[in-house]
Structure 1
Amino acid sequence: MTSPGTPRRSRRLATASLLSVLLLSSCGPASETSPEGAEQSAGSAEEDQAEAQAQAEAEARQAQEAALAGPGEEHRQRAEEIVAEYSTEELAGSVLVGEFASTDAAPMAALIDELHLAGSIIMGGNVPRGDQGVDTETLAAELETLTSGAQDREVPPMISVDQEGGLVTRVDAPLTEWPTPMSYGAAALGSEQDGDDAQSTEDETDDDDALARSGHRFLAAELEELGFTTSFAPEGDVTVGAADPTIGSRSFGGDAEAVSELAMSGIRGLAEGGLAGAVKHFPGHGSVTEDSHQTLPVQDASLDELRSRDWVPFAEAAEAGVPMIMMGHIEVPALEEGTPSSLSAAAYSELRDMGHEGVVVTDALNMGAIVQGYGGDQAAVLALEAGADLLLMPADVGGAHAAIVTALESGELDRSRATEAAQRVTALQLWQADLAAGELAAGPGAELPEELARESEDASEAEADAEGLDSAAETAQALGRSAITLVAGQCEADLAAEGIQIVGGSAQDRSRLATAAQAEGITVGSGAVVNLIGESSSAGGDIAVALDRPEVLAAADAPTRIALYGRTVESFEALARVLSGEDAPGRLPVAVGEDERGHSTC
């Protein structure tokens, strides 16, 4: 395992070199050294010391980035040794992630043991609940039960979840609730505009993504504490807006470069919190007009178009290094006609050509795009043969396991291909365990090298002072305040002077807004009509508020239109403040009707 002391060894070498320079510079007789020469020598020593310090800091940062990016050489070597000892049954199981249908994890733990599975995914129906929301104590115990299914292995099981924030949240309160990922895009655009107004610097540009990194770090830390190891997030999909029926506000926005930056901030934040993440869904689900949960979408764009738009976030992720990328179920005729990308060798080759060296995980193999045309069991073999490393949620994990074993024994599936996949998955699991344990140069509990410890502390204090990012709650509050966007209406107008009437949304939405409004001193029950619009709510009222994707505002006829990007307590608190006359600093991360990306009336 990589030791946290590795950067210190580099510093000791740099210090030794510096001492050698100082000794050599002092070898001449004192009588031959003029005052000017002494000053020059001292200046040279200071420059050498500064250069050595800068080099040591650069090496420490490089070690941090490498630790966050995925498995190191030591993990890959150990994975090769472990997989070399696998039986055919163990090899087949090591690339499968199963699911179960209740809050009792014991049967799934037995299946992990029996079929040698890589792990399990937790869906909403697996999460135990009590009067106050998620029963976190029981959930942690169930996750521990799942882990016990692999207690005799060196490789810990993958305990995974889809936790993006917003509409895709499996484990909610009392964990911190996060708004849609698009909220980060709105906040970053608002921050970017403020920076432009103040002659922004390169450092300020980097700060645009601080919320995304911080939010994902806190999200991961809460999940990791419960026993999760993996979250299949963040989105690398670039949404085209209203024509995109599936991704919508799950995307960071409609600009490829902006999505790239936020996706990288997100996946690095997850790693800092101790989780393996996965940028998804290559080859891009944001620009197809059908839902792969139901059918097979067809992406008719040319390769040039895809490489300049949909594939930009994935190419940049591959180049920077990420632990995992998810392959979606989308037919791309320009790559391979008539075949879902998850079963297409050409699609996997494209990702590898981009430079991705980590795991490629399929989207769920029980989705309509796959089971309607390929069945459940054989699809697992076809995906593995095409280039997948990890097979997520086959319709019947036992049947998929048996099909892989049969294909290996018959020679239909080359053992070397399965071995390669298993090695990548095993290396990922070893890396995540070390990361979460604080045994790498980054991650929760990692001991920072001396060169970065003070700098990191100063940066964290400055970040907390500027953005309120020193806790999950304060980050969620900062995100709610920064994202809210006034799409139409007068900026900083007191919209609730005569009170508000709340319509639309869910009972929880209305309750949360009422509570936030009353805390702000707003009368609830009379006055302006605030219409909370979800995915398909009707428009109308005096103030239309889009709770999830902002594109629904294009059909609203209210004179004031607001994009909220979330239904969290903090989102409604931000809304109440804007209704009272505060600024709405966010900007549209995607076009809404005739309003272009970046639009705001503030």
Structure 2
Amino acid sequence: MARTSSIVLAGLLAGALTLTGCSRAETDGPQEQSSPVAAETPAANAPTTSAQPDARPADFTDEAAGIVAEMDDTALAGAVIMGSYDGTDAAAGAQLIRDHQLAGVIVMPYNLPQDVDRQTVASMTEQFRTAAGERGWQTMIGVDQEGGPVTRAGSAAVELPPLMAHGAADDPALTSQITALQGRDLIELGFTTDFAPIADVTVGKDDPAISVRSAGDDPQRVSSVVEAAVTGYDEAGIISSLKHFPGHGALTEDSHETLPVSQKSLGELADRDFVPFADAAEAGVATSMMVGHIALPDDETLPASLNPKAYQALREDVGFEGLIVTDALNMGAVTAGSPGQETVRALAAGADLALLPPDSAAAAEAVRTALSDGTLKREDLKESATRVVAAQLWQTAVAGQTGADQTAADESGEDSGPGEDEQRQQLADAALTVMAGECRFADPVDEVSVTGSDLGVKAFTEAAEDAGLKVTDSAETTVALVPGPLLGSETVKQAAERNSTTADVAVALSGPWELEGFDSGTQLAIYDDWQPGMTAVARYLSGDLAATGSLPVQIEGADPPDCS
């Protein structure tokens, strides 16, 4: 998954849509730009049900059911598919929506030019928004924008770290503020759905797919962070989606490439992996949940996304009544015969929304055929489509109300609290974790020498200068940014051993387990190579900041101080 970063002041705009579900199966520097996305929502696509402060998608069910009742087969089949297209020509995505009346499309990195700007993204999403015409509900425009290693909106969106930084900060109110910031930023860009947050409980370094994307290895901590994150997304008025049920964090293979097999049954997963999903369902905060491509012990060839038992567990055992979406159906873990059949099988198993089938047009045609031959029951599909439409109506109403409230606050001069850069720095400061050493640097310095990747050193140097800390080659105190570059044919382990003997301070820029084997006197974790994290390290070394983050995963041999 490609990493991209930027720092952008976010704004607000009335957007479009959201997700809910129910089962039927047995189941690098600041870039300020004004947003060009300011088009009025077409009256025919605006919900007639008003959004109360505590409104949920279910409140829009009756209105959605009325819209679905008027759908023909083409519209009904399209309403349960979020498609994709190749290349950077947004017209191709808009054409898919028009031709097959899709719920919408998801924007992936291959749809964006390198170093994409906000104007380009906003122009693209505007084409999608208007492609559906006046059908009574708006186009769903999705993106995977978690923060950290998964930032599909590229350099156009605000730069944020992955959830493990939130787990280290352990500040639910701050997490809600940050995800609300992120949600507003995405709405300004024209998105209506963010497939986040990660609700998986990771096992740490042996988990290649989830890793720092998770808030940690403790189910209760993950639950707390996830609930706070969803609260922030809801406040902004963007659809969020907890993923990847029944739990991807304990698997040692990546479902993007192959089908990982859980060693635990659904019943055994309930005590640990289900917990964040179940807690969110009980709290009533989840708008949608995503089923991942995870095989279970009783059928090692069938991903959960196509398995009725997984959807049944999410409905009955977890108690989730909202929208269920599949993970991307074009991933390596999914093989389901001829084009479009993966979508039919997912819907038949219990999904409400099929995400990113490998051939969106073929998927729509396959669903229409399955409707006509009885493979998919019309009433079941109408039930799913109603959840999709209701969620979208909710999002449109809530985002519009949020935008109106913000405009009123801006016009009145009301103090809206810390600015976005300040909030991001608050998170970085709160997440800074000492794995070895003191909560406050014992011997503050005014200059350091730094090793690491060229980009890492450049980012740290800029942050250090802003914090009043000099970076020079001759400084006595040495800092190693990990992971750094490899010399010749050396391995990551060899690089770690080399740095462990030469650096006074080691800083993990991704998973804290990257520092295993280091014997540096001071070891820090910031969970991402983002600029505010570098600033936090610089302020710690200069004595201006005490680290208060707590290690969210167990690391063999680590004995961090209690800095809370």
The two structures share one fold, judged by TM-score above 0.5: yes
Consecutive unaligned residues of structure 1, counting only runs of 5 or more, are: 1-61, 189-207
- What is residue 386 of structure 2 aligned with on the other side? 423
2:516 is the alignment partner of 1:565: no
Q: Among residues 380, 392, 404, which one is paired with 1:445 in the alignment? A: 404
Report the Cα distance in structure 2 between the residues aligned to 1:599 and 1:254, rounded to whole angstroms: 19
2:251 is the alignment partner of 1:288: yes
2:237 is the alignment partner of 1:274: yes
State the shift of 1:63 in Å. 6.0
- What is residue 20 of structure 1 aligned with on the other side? none
Once the two structures are superposed, what CA deviation does each residue of 1:126-156 show, in whole Å capped at 9, x if it has no partner?
2345xxx431112111110111111231110
State the shift of 1:508 in Å. 2.6
- What is residue 331 of structure 2 aligned with on the other side? 367
More helix by share: 1
CA contact (8 A) 1:163 1:170 kept: yes
Superposed, 1:216-295 pairs within 5 Å as 216-295=179-258
State the shift of 1:599 in Å. 5.5
Once the two structures are superposed, what CA deviation does each residue of 1:64-91 show, in whole Å capped at 9, x if it has no partner?
3x42xx3133x11111111111111111
State the shift of 1:600 in Å. 4.9
Identity value in percent: 41
Q: Among residues 47, 52, 58, which one is paired with 1:72 in the alignment? A: 58
Could you say if the C-alpha distance between residues 599 and 280 of structure 1 is closer, same or farther in structure 2, counting changes exceeding 3 Å?
farther
Q: Among residues 166, 171, 178, which one is paired with 1:184 in the alignment? A: 166
Once the two structures are superposed, what CA deviation does each residue of 1:33-81 show, in whole Å capped at 9, x if it has no partner?
xxxxxxxxxxxxxxxxxxxxxxxxxxxxx963x42xx3133x1111111
- What is residue 6 of structure 2 aligned with on the other side? none
Report the Cα distance in structure 2 between the residues aligned to 1:583 and 1:104, rounded to whole angstroms: 48
CA contact (8 A) 1:239 1:254 kept: yes
State the shift of 1:566 in Å. 1.7
Secondary structure at the aligned position of 1:487 is classed as: strand
- What is residue 138 of structure 1 aligned with on the other side? 120
Report the Cα distance in structure 1 between the residues aligned to 2:85 and 2:152, rounded to whole angstroms: 14
CA contact (8 A) 1:370 1:376 kept: no
Report the Cα distance in structure 1 between the residues aligned to 2:518 and 2:80, rounded to whole angstroms: 48
Report the Cα distance in structure 2 between the residues aligned to 1:572 and 1:509, rounded to whole angstroms: 9
Could you say if the C-alpha distance between residues 517 and 110 of structure 1 is closer, same or farther in structure 2, counting changes exceeding 3 Å?
same
CA contact (8 A) 1:514 1:524 kept: no
Secondary structure at the aligned position of 2:296 is classed as: coil
Superposed, 1:247-396 pairs within 5 Å as 247-321=210-284, 322-333=286-297, 338-353=301-316, 354-371=318-335, 374=337, 376-396=339-359
Once the two structures are superposed, what CA deviation does each residue of 1:344-391 show, in whole Å capped at 9, x if it has no partner?
1111011111221111000000000003x5554211110000000011
CA contact (8 A) 1:501 1:524 kept: yes
Secondary structure at the aligned position of 1:562 is classed as: strand
- What is residue 557 of structure 2 aligned with on the other side? 594
> 83-92 vs 377-386, which deviates more?
83-92
- What is residue 39 of structure 2 aligned with on the other side? none
Say how many residue pairs are matched: 492
Report the Cα distance in structure 2 between the residues aligned to 1:482 and 1:303, rounded to whole angstroms: 36
Could you say if the C-alpha distance between residues 320 and 594 of structure 1 is closer, same or farther in structure 2, counting changes exceeding 3 Å?
same
Q: Given residue 334 of structure 2, which amino acid in structure 1 is its aligned partner? A: I
2:148 is the alignment partner of 1:162: no
CA contact (8 A) 1:366 1:376 kept: no
CA contact (8 A) 2:436 2:561 kept: no
Report the Cα distance in structure 2 between the residues aligned to 1:599 and 1:122, rounded to whole angstroms: 43
- What is residue 85 of structure 1 aligned with on the other side? 70
Report the Cα distance in structure 2 between the residues aligned to 1:274 and 1:118, rounded to whole angstroms: 18
- What is residue 41 of structure 1 aligned with on the other side? none
Secondary structure at the aligned position of 2:513 is classed as: helix
Q: Among residues 472, 478, 482, which one is paired with 1:529 in the alignment? A: 478
Q: TM-score, normalised by structure 1?
A: 0.77
State the shift of 1:579 in Å. 1.8
Could you say if the C-alpha distance between residues 178 and 77 of structure 1 is closer, same or farther in structure 2, counting changes exceeding 3 Å?
same
Report the Cα distance in structure 2 between the residues aligned to 1:548 and 1:592, rounded to whole angstroms: 14
Once the two structures are superposed, what CA deviation does each residue of 1:273-320 show, in whole Å capped at 9, x if it has no partner?
120000111001101111100111111124443111100011111222
Secondary structure at the aligned position of 1:430 is classed as: helix
Report the Cα distance in structure 2 between the residues aligned to 1:89 and 1:417, rounded to whole angstroms: 15
Q: CA RMSD in A?
A: 2.5
Report the Cα distance in structure 1 between the residues aligned to 2:443 and 2:87, rounded to whole angstroms: 46
- What is residue 14 of structure 2 aligned with on the other side? none
- What is residue 428 of structure 2 aligned with on the other side? 480
State the shift of 1:121 in Å. 0.7
Secondary structure at the aligned position of 1:369 is classed as: coil
Q: Among residues 537, 553, 556, which one is paired with 2:518 in the alignment? A: 556
Secondary structure at the aligned position of 1:278 is classed as: strand
State the shift of 1:493 in Å. 2.7
Report the Cα distance in structure 2 between the residues aligned to 1:124 and 1:231, rounded to whole angstroms: 14
Q: TM-score, normalised by structure 2?
A: 0.82
Could you say if the C-alpha distance between residues 562 and 374 of structure 1 is closer, same or farther in structure 2, counting changes exceeding 3 Å?
farther
State the shift of 1:490 in Å. 3.6
2:463 is the alignment partner of 1:516: yes
> 474-483 vs 554-563, which deviates more?
554-563
Q: Given residue 471 of structure 2, which amino acid in structure 1 is its aligned partner? A: T
- What is residue 7 of structure 1 aligned with on the other side? none
Secondary structure at the aligned position of 1:72 is classed as: helix
Secondary structure at the aligned position of 1:326 is classed as: strand
Could you say if the C-alpha distance between residues 429 and 498 of structure 1 is closer, same or farther in structure 2, counting changes exceeding 3 Å?
closer
Report the Cα distance in structure 2 between the residues aligned to 1:237 and 1:381, rounded to whole angstroms: 26
- What is residue 94 of structure 1 aligned with on the other side? 79
CA contact (8 A) 1:588 1:599 kept: no
Bigger Rg over Cα: 1
2:499 is the alignment partner of 1:544: no
Q: Given residue 123 of structure 2, which amino acid in structure 1 is its aligned partner? A: A
Report the Cα distance in structure 1 between the residues aligned to 2:338 and 2:479, rounded to whole angstroms: 47
Secondary structure at the aligned position of 1:234 is classed as: coil
State the shift of 1:601 in Å. 6.8
Could you say if the C-alpha distance between residues 377 and 215 of structure 1 is closer, same or farther in structure 2, counting changes exceeding 3 Å?
same
- What is residue 43 of structure 2 aligned with on the other side? none
Q: Given residue 109 of structure 2, which amino acid in structure 1 is its aligned partner? A: G
Report the Cα distance in structure 1 between the residues aligned to 2:339 and 2:443, rounded to whole angstroms: 54
Could you say if the C-alpha distance between residues 521 and 595 of structure 1 is closer, same or farther in structure 2, counting changes exceeding 3 Å?
closer
> 298-307 vs 312-321, which deviates more?
298-307
Once the two structures are superposed, what CA deviation does each residue of 1:434-461 show, in whole Å capped at 9, x if it has no partner?
11111xxxx443599xxxx9xxx9xx98
Could you say if the C-alpha distance between residues 305 and 446 of structure 1 is closer, same or farther in structure 2, counting changes exceeding 3 Å?
farther
- What is residue 36 of structure 2 aligned with on the other side? none
Could you say if the C-alpha distance between residues 548 and 294 of structure 1 is closer, same or farther in structure 2, counting changes exceeding 3 Å?
same
- What is residue 437 of structure 2 aligned with on the other side? 489
Q: Among residues 367, 374, 382, which one is paired with 1:404 in the alignment? A: 367
Report the Cα distance in structure 2 between the residues aligned to 1:496 and 1:378, rounded to whole angstroms: 62
Superposed, 1:33-72 pairs within 5 Å as 64=53, 66-67=54-55, 70-72=56-58
Once the two structures are superposed, what CA deviation does each residue of 1:70-118 show, in whole Å capped at 9, x if it has no partner?
3133x11111111111111111111111112333211110110100101
Report the Cα distance in structure 2 between the residues aligned to 1:398 and 1:392, rounded to whole angstroms: 13
Secondary structure at the aligned position of 1:308 is classed as: coil
Could you say if the C-alpha distance between residues 494 and 218 of structure 1 is closer, same or farther in structure 2, counting changes exceeding 3 Å?
same
Report the Cα distance in structure 2 between the residues aligned to 1:375 and 1:167, rounded to whole angstroms: 32
Consecutive unaligned residues of structure 2, counting only runs of 5 or more, are: 1-50, 485-490
